[in-house]
Amino acid sequence: MTGRLRGLVEERELVLASFIDTHADTLGLACHAMARAFSAGGTLVAYGTGAAATDAAHVAVEFMHPVIVGKRALPALTAPDLARPGDIAVGLVHGGRDRKVETLLARADMLTIALTGPTRIEADFSFAVESDDGAIVQEVQESAYHVLWELVHVFFEHPGLLADACITCGDVAVEARVVAVSNGTATIERDGALEEVAVDLVNDVAVGDTILCHAGVALERID
């Protein structure tokens, strides 16, 4: 292997390893949310423009035509105009900004997932590849959406994880990790289940905090 080729391979390995280290937990949460949306009747809408359109088509085919015997076929398409409330929008951008993709992911009535280069797009789950090389971004994204496909089917093998859950409904307060904050509420995660709680009693709640919660209310932050 020549020095130049070795350098190209090593760069790709480093970018992919960094991506997985950064996003591993969030990829799992995104897959759980996707599995729940599919279970509730949602369709995956994969969308990209230019070269990313081919990846969007690849995503749709992966979910519609599983390559592993015994895995279920899941509804997927690449036409954003057909997106409905409750669907799953996966937007792909290899580099820079894409207004059409951003418009789709701005919808509040869908589960939204962004796969981008270093220029991030706001979404429920946003996965940025830290590289200015569009080819490397595309390759890492391809690995990422295959992980999404695989883990969604893992959750389908455990149907108890797809049922509605109330994390904070027990007799005692529970500790949970904050995975999102918006408009006076926080989304918490515990053992793969998600719930929104009010955070009026705790100042400056941020993603990554561990908070003590009961009956849909955050009571205090835990160091």
- Domains, the chain, with CATH or none: 3-161 (3.40.50.10490), 174-222 (2.30.30.140)
pLDDT of residue 106: 96
Please check the confidence at residue 74 and state whether its pLDDT lies above 80: yes
Cα–Cα distance, 175 to 177 (Å, whole number): 7
Please check the confidence at residue 69 and state whether its pLDDT lies above 90: no
SS3 for 72?
coil
Is 194 or 75 the better-scoring residue by pLDDT?
A: 75
Closest CA to 86 of 123, 135, 33: 33
Cα–Cα distance, 161 to 139 (Å, whole number): 31
The H or E element containing residue 57 is helix 52-64
In which residue are the tokens 């929008």 written?
89
- Kindly report the average pLDDT of the chain as a whole number: 91
Contact between 197 and 185 under an 8 Å Cβ cutoff? The reply is: yes
Is 71 or 99 the better-scoring residue by pLDDT?
A: 99
Model pLDDT for residues 153-179, shown as the tens digit of each residue: 988 887 666 766 678 877 789 999 999
